Amino acid sequence: MSAKTQSPVGSEAIELKGWLAAHKYLLLRRTTQLLFLALFLIGPWFGIWWVKGNLAASMTLDILPLADPLMLLQSALAGHWPEQTALVGALIVAVTYALIGGRVYCSWVCPINIVTDASHWLHDRLGLPKGWQPKANTRYFMLTAILIASAMTGTLAFELVNPITMLHRGLVFGLGFAWTFVIGIFLFDVLLARRGWCSHLCPVGAFYGLLGSKALLRVSATDRAACDDCMDCFAVCPEMHVITPALRGRSEDTPIILSRDCTNCGRCIDVCSVSVFQFTHRFDQRPSPGRTSGKSKLAHKATEAA
């Protein structure tokens, strides 16, 4: 193992690019997540009702309806056909995430991402083993299960335990039972399964991943020939299996990360000291020579160990 793989994650990028540039997309994501949260909270907290509702369904400035298409799908399966305003709101959200990438919701909007990133940070700081790792398709079973449960029970099954809704409720009404779900996810990720909730179980992430499977916005390993095997991109990626095909592909293979599991969080761009990655679109045809085969052993071992 090279000395670079043993140095703190992102340290070389900080040294070469500066701290701000090495955290650019992380800072932008946190700002965006907190901004969305603040827009929903300034109403109940300060009486400024620019946005009414929450991430499940809202009305902005009494003009723009937005609704979670997964919630409406549960509602329809439960036998409760949504009103026209809710359908329009769900259509706006669905088209938006279908274009920019469904799991952009996970990394740039969902407030639970802040909780699970904090869990991952603490997990690493404590040096804990990765623990139980559910199969990659478990979240799709979870998604199927909540839809079947909605149809069978006539309820919005996941909304009864949705940690996103619970977090919002807890912030509005203060300490209460809702926090139990949020704290439970935090402890689950720290003690039982590294990145267990967002990367393996969350049905919301599964739904938005399917929704954005053909999205335009993509991360590309455009300059993959410059990769120096520091492994920092694998260390920070919440879905590290998406990196290997693009980064380690041959010259004739696309360098674009096309997996629907990619959250477009941009952390791989942040921590790469040699600027291998960048945001682009799925039709980018720029040539991107692959690496020599001998350099790919470390990445292969890391992917197997994940």
Q: Could you report the per-residue pLDDT of 51-109, keeping only the tens digit for each?
A: 999 999 999 999 999 999 999 999 999 999 888 999 999 999 999 999 999 999 999 99
Residue 10's region, left for phi above 0, alpha for psi from -120 to 50, else beta, is left
Computed from CA positions of residues 1, 121, 245, 283, in that sequence, does the dihedral angle turn out positive or negative? negative
Predicted confidence at residue 181, as pLDDT, reads 86
Give start and end residues of each alpha helix (H) in the chain: 3-6, 11-17, 24-46, 69-77, 84-100, 104, 112-126, 138-153, 163-173, 178-187, 196, 203-211, 232-236, 243-247, 267-271, 297-305
pLDDT tens digits for range 165-214:
888 888 888 767 778 888 999 999 999 999 999 999 999 999 999 999 99
Question: How many CA atoms does the CB half-sphere of 75 hold within 13 Å?
Answer: 15
Predicted confidence at residue 193, as pLDDT, reads 94
Contacts of 301 (CB under 8 A, 6+ apart): none
| Burial bucket for residue 6 (CB in 10 Å: 0-12, 13-18, 19+) | exposed
Measured distance between the N- and C-terminal CA atoms of the chain, rounded to whole angstroms: 17
The two beta strands, 57-60 and 51-53, are: antiparallel
pLDDT exceeds 90 at position 144: yes
pLDDT exceeds 60 at position 249: yes
Long-range CB contact pairs, 126-129, < 8 A, 24+ = 126/190, 128/190, 128/191, 128/194
Contacts of 24 (CB under 8 A, 6+ apart): 266, 269, 270
Higher pLDDT, 264 or 4: 264
For the chain, the average pLDDT equals 91
Predicted confidence at residue 225, as pLDDT, reads 94
The residue among 213, 305, 196 whose CA lies nearest residue 257 is 213
pLDDT exceeding 90 applies to what percent of the chain? 77
pLDDT exceeds 80 at position 292: no
Predicted confidence at residue 192, as pLDDT, reads 93
The residue among 281, 293, 242 whose CA lies nearest residue 100 is 281
Long-range CB contact pairs, 26-35, < 8 A, 24+ = 26/265, 26/266, 26/267, 26/270, 28/266, 29/107, 29/108, 29/113, 29/265, 29/266, 30/114, 32/108, 32/109, 33/108, 33/109, 33/110, 33/111, 33/113, 33/114
Confidence of residue 2 (pLDDT cuts 50, 70, 90): low
Residue 281 backbone phi and psi in degrees, to 5: -120, 160
Q: Are 304 and 248 in contact (CB under 8 A)?
A: no
DSSP state for residue 216 in the 8-state scheme: S
Partner residues linked to 65 by β-bridges? 59
Higher pLDDT, 131 or 175: 131
Number of helices (H) and strands (E), helices first, in the chain? 16, 5
Cα–Cα dist 243/284, whole Å = 17
Dihedral of CA atoms 186, 206, 51, 164 in degrees, nearest 10, equals -20
CB count within 10 Å of CB 187 equals 12
Please tell me the least confidently modeled range out of 2-11, 206-215, 292-301. Answer: 292-301
Predicted confidence at residue 189, as pLDDT, reads 95
pLDDT exceeds 60 at position 297: no
Predicted confidence at residue 301, as pLDDT, reads 47
Confidence of residue 4 (pLDDT cuts 50, 70, 90): low
